[in-house]
């Protein structure tokens, strides 16, 4: 059982649950792959708060993740699966045949002792192997997908995420993303076979405010409770109707477009993502 549900001994325990991280086999991180993680607490380069409700939380160190998977043709042994406080997914420590150590996003089903490889040429489409999409059979689940060849994986890196490779035609491959968006990526872009591990992350119930404070999340004030010059929902009567829900900067919070207009990659999007609140978004 990967999720443990607490008994309701206190108000904070009622309905709360924790992830047992059953996939994790290695407890301490590799020191050579750690880096300091400076906190900004939702502030920009001027020190002004741009994101509300951030601050505090447990001290963390960053784990250097290999998103490019560009160490080609050298077999890597999976030393162990580790917990990463900076992301929802677990990470796997790889030891290459030449002695180099690297972290990667741990795919679902990967276990310590297995051997992985990345290559620009066709290889076995085994879970955890990385290669250009042109060599991956259609119908497989992919994660850590590049949007530009050589730039490193950008898509499907969170716990339980994966995209489905549906079609390959010419220079472009068609993938279906978890959001429902269907888009094309270059056949030269690399991807890793399989789904991201730790799918039970989505089933955890926090249960109490204190657990969010450990994550660096402070209490948030409703916009309707603010003054008119602080938030678009503020001021006036208690009911603030006639306006789409938004954040303090005016960006729509429920289904509004956040993508910049006129991007060169717009033509590569076949179908926009689905909005969970308002159905299919209009182009």
Task: Quick: pLDDT tens for 50-81.
Answer: 888 999 999 999 999 999 999 999 999 999 99
Q: How many residues does the chain have?
A: 283
Task: Quick: pLDDT tens for 242-279.
Answer: 678 888 888 888 777 778 889 998 999 999 886 655 54
Location of structure tokens 């290889």: 123
Separation between Cα atoms, residue 157 and residue 196, nearest integer Å: 7
Residues 6+ apart with CB under 8 A from 211: 16
Task: Quick: pLDDT tens for 78-112.
Answer: 999 999 999 999 999 999 999 999 999 999 999 99
DSSP letter, residue 30: P
Phi, psi of 53 (to 5 degrees): 80, 25
Instruction: Provide the whole-model pTM.
Output: 0.89
Render 127-138 in DSSP notation, one character per residue: TT-EEEGGGSPT
pLDDT over 90 at 1, yes or no: no
User: Distance between alpha carbon 49 and the CA centroid of its chain, in Å?
Assistant: 24
3-state SS, residue 246: strand
Query: What pLDDT shows up at residue 239?
Result: 67
Convert 167-211 into a string of H (helix), E (strand) and C (coil).
EEECCEEEEECCCCCEEEEECCCEEEECCECCHHHHHCCCCCHHH
pLDDT over 90 at 22, yes or no: yes
Which of 159, 126, 129, 143 minimizes the C-alpha distance to 23? 159
DSSP letter, residue 43: B
Burial of 23 (0-12, 13-18, 19+ CB in 10 A): buried
3-state SS, residue 277: coil
Strands 130-132 and 163-169: unpaired
CB 233 within 8 A of CB 149: no
> In the chain, what percentage of residues exceed pLDDT 70?
94
Query: What pLDDT shows up at residue 241?
Result: 64
Which of 279, 283, 228 minimizes the C-alpha distance to 257? 283
Separation between Cα atoms, residue 24 and residue 161, nearest integer Å: 18
Domain locations along the chain: 3-201
Paired tokens of 94 = 């790889």
**CATH level 2 (architecture), domain 3-201:** Beta Barrel (2.40)
3-state SS, residue 242: coil
Query: What pLDDT shows up at residue 240?
Result: 63
- The model's confidence at residue 178, banded by pLDDT at 50, 70 and 90, is very high
Query: What pLDDT shows up at residue 282?
Result: 43
Residues 6+ apart with CB under 8 A from 192: 69, 104, 105, 107, 128, 129, 130, 142, 143, 144, 145, 153
Separation between Cα atoms, residue 51 and residue 129, nearest integer Å: 38
């Amino acid at each position: 059982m990967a999720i443990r549900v607490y008994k309701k001994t206190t108000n904070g325990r009622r309905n709360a649950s924790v992830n047992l991280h059953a996939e994790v086999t290695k407890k301490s991180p590799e020191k050579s792959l750690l880096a300091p993680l400076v906190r900004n607490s939702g502030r920009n380069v001027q020190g002004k708060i741009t994101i509300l409700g951030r601050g505090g939380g447990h001290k963390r160190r960053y784990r250097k993740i290999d998103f490019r998977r560009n160490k080609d043709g050298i077999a890597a042994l999976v030393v162990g699966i580790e917990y990463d406080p900076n992301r929802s997914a677990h990470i796997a420590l790889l030891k290459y045949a030449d002695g180099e150590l690297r972290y990667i996003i741990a795919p679902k089903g990967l276990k310590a002792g297995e051997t992985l490889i990345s290559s620009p040429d066709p290889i076995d489409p085994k879970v955890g192997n990385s290669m250009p999409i042109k060599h991956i059979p259609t119908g497989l689940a992919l994660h850590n997908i590049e949007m530009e060849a050589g730039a490193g994986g950008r898509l499907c890196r969170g716990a339980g995420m994966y995209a489905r490779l549906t079609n390959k035609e010419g220079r472009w491959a068609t993938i279906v993303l978890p959001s429902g968006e269907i888009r094309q990526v270059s056949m030269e872009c690399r991807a890793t076979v399989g789904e991201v591990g730790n799918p039970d992350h989505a089933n955890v119930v926090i249960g109490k405010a204190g657990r969010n404070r450990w994550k660096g999340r402070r209490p948030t004030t409703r916009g309707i409770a603010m003054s008119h010059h602080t938030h678009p929902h503020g001021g006036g009567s208690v009911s603030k109707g006639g306006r789409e829900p938004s954040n303090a900067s005016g960006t729509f919070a429920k289904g509004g477009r956040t993508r910049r207009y006129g991007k060169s990659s717009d033509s590569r999007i076949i179908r926009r993502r689905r909005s969970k609140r308002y159905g299919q978004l209009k182009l």
